[in-house]
Amino acid sequence: MFKNHPTLKHILGRAGWYFVTFLVAVTINFFLPRLGDANPVDTIMAKVSAGLDTASAKEKEESYLKEFGLVEVDAAGHIKRDAQGKPVRASLASQFINYVSMSLRGDLGSSILQHPKRVSEIIKDALPWTLALQLPTIVFGWLLGNVLGALAAYKRGVFDKVMYPLALLMSAIPAFCFGILLVYVLGIRLEWFPAVGGYDDGMTPEMTFRFFASASYYYVLPFLSVFLIVVGGQAIGMRSMCIYELGTDYVKYAKLLGVKESKILYYMFRNAMLPQLTGLALALGTMVGGALITEMIFSYPGLGMAVLTAIQGNDYPLITGCTLLVTVCVLIANFSVDILVGILDPRIRAAQQSGK
């Protein structure tokens, strides 16, 4: 059916693969937190039961049990009860089915710490900050790193001697260490930039110029802290890739033929780019993880901060909600890179042309 559309076939194949990965991620998200003995309802009850009499505490507990899908519910939405009037506990399998169908509908339950706020609401507030921080840093960091790496490999000399050790150091500094360094030196000691937070105290997120200006000022340090590390890591990869390309026959041959330098550089860049793009797909998970920890160091109001507060408060629905969303974002980003590779890879393009 897709014989004549290799690109489309490639895209559909990848889409199917990523859907399977998504299901595995949902499964992990469901089962791992249930490995432990912690029960979310007990955690909430410990918090809210104080001052309640037994009957209303029991009623409350049952409403939570129902909300977290821990008991069987009949078609009318009432809790099923056994002969003694006790609620029937849902089996792990039915809990799982319930969880998957809820996740697919975007319903992630409600937070324990900020009960009855929905997890999806908290995430909706946090996600734009994370996207605004991570998307540009990774995309532009990747681009700049590759250009610098290719230039260093081609020019060698002083440029390479300065850039290479710097890039090596940047790629070896753990993201969180660099973040702490920036907070302390530029934020607290020199007071050039605000050290923590996403915008001025007393402001609420809104679409005004004043808020935007404040947010951009707070953006500088977290941006730099992730950006420079991505640039360093990518520059090193691209540099060694280009040094390899420079030694290949096609470059030597082109040089002997007297092909223009810029043209050789262009060919070399294109050939080294594809593995770098595949490398990006593989490194995305680590990059996003590192950036999440950077968010925590800067108390940036994104998903990283949400995960941190959730962990500190044993807020399981919020932890799993955030981890699932981060995974979904990484999957989408990976999928986009995969599609890009499919479009750029001359082998897939060639198959497309010969298929016509």
Nearest distance from C-beta of residue 230 to other proteins, angstroms: 15
Q: Which residue in the set 25, 45, 148, 153 belongs to the binding site for other proteins (CB under 8 A)?
A: 25
Long-range contacts, stretch 87-94, CB < 8 angstroms, 24+ apart: 87/62, 92/34
Does position 190 interact with other proteins (CB under 8 A)? The reply is no
Does position 29 interact with other proteins (CB under 8 A)? The reply is yes
Q: Which residues pair with 228 in a beta bridge?
A: none
Among positions 302-321, residues that touch other proteins (CB under 8 A) are 307-308, 311-312, 314, 316, 319-320
Does position 135 interact with other proteins (CB under 8 A)? The reply is no
Does position 327 interact with other proteins (CB under 8 A)? The reply is yes
Q: Which residue in the set 48, 293, 340, 351 belongs to the binding site for other proteins (CB under 8 A)?
A: 293
From CA 59, how far away is CA 69, in angstroms rounded?
A: 15
Q: Which residue in the set 2, 159, 184, 212 belongs to the binding site for other proteins (CB under 8 A)?
A: 184
Q: How many CB atoms lie within 10 A of CB 247?
A: 9
Nearest distance from C-beta of residue 103 to other proteins, angstroms: 14
Does position 277 interact with other proteins (CB under 8 A)? The reply is no
Residue (of 286, 249, 270, 246) closest to 160 by Cα position: 246
By beta-carbon proximity to other proteins, the closer residue of 87 and 237 is 237
Select from 95-103, 116-124, 150-158, 182-190 the region that touches other proteins (CB under 8 A): 182-190
The tokens describing 54, both together, are 């037994």
Does position 323 interact with other proteins (CB under 8 A)? The reply is yes
Does position 339 interact with other proteins (CB under 8 A)? The reply is no
Footprint of other proteins (CB under 8 A): 17-18, 20-21, 24-25, 28-29, 32-38, 168-169, 171-174, 176-177, 180-181, 183-184, 188-189, 195, 282, 284-286, 288-290, 292-293, 296-297, 307-308, 311-312, 314, 316, 319-320, 323, 326-327, 330-331, 334
